[in-house]
Amino acid sequence: MTRDELQRVRQWADSKLATGEEPPWAWYQYMKLRETLDATLPGMAEVMPQTENSPREVPRRETHLRLVASTYRQDTARQHQSDEQVQLPM
């Protein structure tokens, strides 16, 4: 989300709180949202300066999954001997 969108969300939360008609559980959630946005918005200014020439997103490197050969053979697994006594923890 952009800084402007987050500021609009904060204004929306403020308007919900200002009515005084929200139930206590909703009021608490709006306060948490407002506090989170208050902590996030100033940090965005430092991390993402808003200039016309700065890119919106960092382009991702094109990577794809690749199929690899399995080196595990099922027939080489050690079989459990049924007559062995297993030590159980107490």
The pLDDT assigned to 65 comes to 77
| Residue 56 pLDDT exceeds 70 | no
- Cα dihedral: 49, 42, 33, 28 (round 10): 180
Q: CA-CA distance, 74 to 82, in Å (whole number)?
A: 19
The pLDDT assigned to 67 comes to 76
| Residue 12 pLDDT exceeds 60 | yes
Q: How confident is the prediction for the chain on average, in pLDDT?
A: 80
Q: CA-CA distance, 90 to 57, in Å (whole number)?
A: 56
